[in-house]
Amino acid sequence: MFGSGEAVHQRLGGLLRGARKLAGLSGTELSARLGVSQSKLSRIELGQSSPTPDLAGRWSTICGISPERAGEISDLAEQIATETSPAPWHGRAADGIAQRQGRVSEVESASGLTLTWHPRLIPGLLQTPAYAREIFACTEMEQPELNTAVAARMARQALLYDPDRAVRLLVGEAALRWPIASVATLVAQLDRLSLFAADGTVRFGIVPFARPFGAFSYHAWSVMADRDDEEPDLVHVELETATVDITDPEQTAAYRDAFERLSALALTGDRAVDLIRRIRQELTAA
């Protein structure tokens, strides 16, 4: 969870902890019956981890709580499974962009697989400092916070060199053509993309304008999957004024399927490098 809905998580955790205690079960006993680790159960009760609706339902059944309380637990678990929070760049979040970057990094570092699609911007894991700075400058934040936000985004990129983590990134062709503030910054960003596309450090692809991809995935999103912190797959969606975190299994599976459909249309390797170079020439000749 990247947003500011901690109160909901703590409320759900408190209800589940209360249900366990009323049932006279120890953490060890309940974790064994649920098939989760005791540390996972403890994090849920403290509001630090999110149970899936299925897990919350089994918890209620094992503890034999009233239908009314079980319904409240189910509603909270469903709410968390698709959680909306104010976006930090819109000025209404309790935390800032740098803090949010740190939490994203923690989840990415615990994920065996990260999938990111953006139709019109270069993803943060591939951005140059100058490109990231131009994006963050659009929020009109103060210079010290801007510097901290850029540094936090650059620190996330250590993930690209972790041999135990697979990273796959896709962008639309528009991302290669649309300057944030200056063409010079975009050209330097394209040079960096060429290196990544050529050397295979990450699996990077471009969905070109020439390939129709159907009426899906018009917005940007990331999937953080195969996590080693016992958390479910997470889809993170960034909107104009809010972010959405999705852990519902059916929905996260739909995003993974969408990524594979986009991958089938993408240019990779030498063909991606050729397209980047052609666009670079057009930008510098204009």
- Cβ atoms of 247 and 56 within 8 Å: the answer is no
143 band by pLDDT with thresholds 50, 70 and 90? confident
Q: How far is CA 128 from CA 45, 55, 103, 229, in A?
A: 40, 41, 20, 30
93 pLDDT tier (thresholds 50, 70, 90): very low
Domains of the chain (ranges, CATH numbers): 6-81 (1.10.260.40), 87-285 (3.30.870)
190 versus 92: the higher-pLDDT residue is 190
Q: Given a cut of 90, is residue 80 above it in pLDDT?
A: no
Q: What is the mean pLDDT of the chain?
A: 89
Residue 140 gets the label, from left (phi > 0), alpha (psi -120 to 50) or beta, of: left
pLDDT, tens digit (0-9, with 9 covering 90-100), for 5-52: 678 888 999 999 999 999 999 999 999 999 999 999 999 999 888 898
pLDDT at position 86: 67
The reported pTM is 0.80
E strands, the chain, in order: 82-86, 111-118, 166-172, 203-207, 221-227, 234-238, 242-246, 267-268
Please tell me the least confidently modeled range out of 11-15, 18-22, 86-90, 183-187: 86-90
- Say what percent of the chain tops pLDDT 70: 93
244 contacts 82 by C-beta, under 8 angstroms: yes
pLDDT at residue 231 greater than cutoff 90: no
Closest CA to 237 of 260, 262, 212, 254: 254
Is residue 153 within 8 A of residue 103, CB to CB? The reply is no
What percentage of the chain exceeds 90 in pLDDT? 67
Residue 87 or 59, more confident:
59
